[in-house]
Structure 1
Amino acid sequence: MASKIFTGNMPELMEKILNNLNHEFYSLYSCALVCRHWCKMSIPILWQDPFSYSYNEKRSLFISNYFSSLKEDEKFVLKNCNIYVGFSKTLFDYAIFLKVLDLYCLEHMIKLWLDFQLGLGFPFLKKSKAVYRMINLLFKLFIKSGATLYKLDLSSFECIQIKPEIFYSLQRNEKFFSQLQDLSLRDLSKFSIESAVNLLMILAKNARKISSLYLEIYTKYDPQVFQALISIIKSQEQLRLFRINSGDGEDVIEEYNGIISALTSQKQSLQEIILEYCEYSVEFEVLMNCENLEILRIDNSDYILLNISGSKINTLEVTDQIIKTSPIVSFLEKSGTLLQRLKLICSEISEEESHLLKALISKFLCPNLTYLYMCVGTFSENLELISKLQKLQYFTLWFEDNISEEEVKKFAEVLPLTLQYLDLIHTPQLNSYLDIWLNNCHAPLKKILIKSFDETRAKALIEFCMRKRTLNYVGVSKYSDLNDNIKKEMEKYVKVVPFKSILVDY
Structure 2
Amino acid sequence: MNFLENTLSHLEDDLYSLYSCLLVNRYWSQHVIPLLWSQPFELVKETSSHKIIITYISCLPKETKKRFRIGGIKLPNYERTLFDYPKYLKNFNTQKFCRALNKTFLTNTTSPQYFYSKKSKNKFSNIIRKQIKLFKGFYIIYPKNNFDKSINKCFKPILKQYYSTYPNPYLAKEIIYLLFNQYITLKSLIINTCLDNRYKMDIELHLFLQRNHNSLQNLSTFELDFVKKLSYNREWKKEDFLLTELLNKMSEYAINLRKIRIEIPFSDPWGGQRLTTKFHQSLRKLIESQTKLKIFISNYYWDQTESCLYESLTKQSNTLKRLTLMELTHSDHRFRKGLSSWKNLETLELLGGSDFLTPSNVELEQLSIKNLFIGQNYEPDPLISKILKATNKNLNKLVLDGSSNSIIFETIIKYCPKITHLSITLSLDNYNYIILLLPKLFSNLYQLKYLKLSSREINKKSEIFESLLKVSKSFPLSLQHLVLELNMYYLNLDYFLKQCHHYLIYLDIIYNNIIIQDELFLTLMQYKKDNNNCQKIRFFSSLEFPYNLDLDFLDDVSEYITFVKEKYSNFNINNLW
Q: TM-score, normalised by structure 2?
A: 0.70
Deviation at 1:52, TM superposition (A): 2.8
Distance in 1 (CA, whole Å) between partners of 2:12 and 2:237 is: 31
Q: RMSD of the TM alignment (CA)?
A: 4.0
SS in 2 for 1:122: helix
Which deviates more, 266-275 or 394-403? Answer: 394-403
Q: Quick one: which amino acid aligns to residue 341 of structure 2?
A: N
Number of the residue aligned with 2:458? 401
Are positions 1:236 and 2:295 aligned together?
no
Which deviates more, 92-101 or 402-411? Answer: 402-411
SS in 1 for 2:400: strand
Aligned match of 1:182 in 210, 221, 224?
221
Q: Deviations over 1:196-242 (max 9, x none)?
A: 23322332222222111123468833333333323322221121122
Number of the residue aligned with 1:205? 252
Number of the residue aligned with 1:109? 100
Q: Quick one: which amino acid aligns to residue 345 of structure 2?
A: L
Distance in 2 (CA, whole Å) between partners of 1:31 and 1:473 is: 33
Larger Rg: 1 or 2?
2
SS in 2 for 1:392: coil
SS in 2 for 1:253: coil
Contact 1:471 1:494 in 2 (8 A): no
Alignment length (residue pairs): 481
User: Percent identity among equivalent residues?
Assistant: 22
Change (3 A) 1:333 1:228: closer
Number of the residue aligned with 1:422? 482
Distance in 1 (CA, whole Å) between partners of 2:70 and 2:317 is: 50
Counterpart mapping for 1:117-196 below 5 A:
117-118=108-109, 119=112, 122-123=115-116, 133=170, 136-144=173-181, 146-158=183-195, 162=204, 166=208, 170-171=212-213, 174=214, 176-187=215-226, 189=236, 191-196=238-243
Number of the residue aligned with 1:51? 41
Number of the residue aligned with 2:58? 68
Number of the residue aligned with 1:223? 277
Counterpart mapping for 1:5-84 below 5 A:
11-53=1-43, 55-71=45-61, 75=65, 78-79=68-69, 82-84=72-74
Contact 2:472 2:499 in 1 (8 A): yes
Q: Deviations over 1:34-72 (max 9, x none)?
A: 444444433332323222346442454333211112246
Number of the residue aligned with 2:375? 319
SS in 2 for 1:468: coil
User: Tell me, which stretches of 5 or more residues in structure 1 are unaligned?
Assistant: 1-10, 347-351
Contact 1:57 1:113 in 2 (8 A): no
Q: Quick one: which amino acid aligns to residue 41 of structure 1?
A: H
Distance in 1 (CA, whole Å) between partners of 2:281 and 2:498 is: 61
Aligned match of 1:413 in 470, 473, 479?
473
Distance in 1 (CA, whole Å) between partners of 2:539 and 2:179 is: 38
Q: Quick one: which amino acid aligns to residue 488 of structure 2?
A: Q
Change (3 A) 1:345 1:87: farther
Q: TM-score, normalised by structure 1?
A: 0.79
Change (3 A) 1:415 1:470: same
Q: Quick one: which amino acid aligns to residue 576 of structure 2?
A: D
Are positions 1:300 and 2:364 aligned together?
no
Q: Quick one: which amino acid aligns to residue 265 of structure 1?
A: K
Are positions 1:505 and 2:565 aligned together?
no
Aligned match of 1:245 in 282, 289, 299?
299
Change (3 A) 1:370 1:257: same
Q: Quick one: which amino acid aligns to residue 193 of structure 2?
A: S
Distance in 2 (CA, whole Å) between partners of 1:243 and 1:358 is: 27
Contact 2:354 2:381 in 1 (8 A): no
Contact 1:462 1:493 in 2 (8 A): yes
Q: Quick one: which amino acid aligns to residue 291 of structure 2?
A: E
SS in 2 for 1:62: helix
Distance in 2 (CA, whole Å) between partners of 1:49 and 1:462 is: 42
Counterpart mapping for 1:343-382 below 5 A:
343-346=399-402, 353=404, 355-356=406-407, 359-360=410-411, 364-377=414-427, 381-382=434-435
User: Tell me, which stretches of 5 or more residues in structure 2 are unaligned?
Assistant: 120-162, 228-235, 267-272
Distance in 2 (CA, whole Å) between partners of 1:155 and 1:131 is: 23
Distance in 2 (CA, whole Å) between partners of 1:47 and 1:146 is: 15
Deviation at 1:481, TM superposition (A): 0.9
Q: Deviations over 1:384-438 (max 9, x none)?
A: 34444322222222214145665565344333332233333x4222788555544
Q: Quick one: which amino acid aligns to residue 279 of structure 2?
A: V
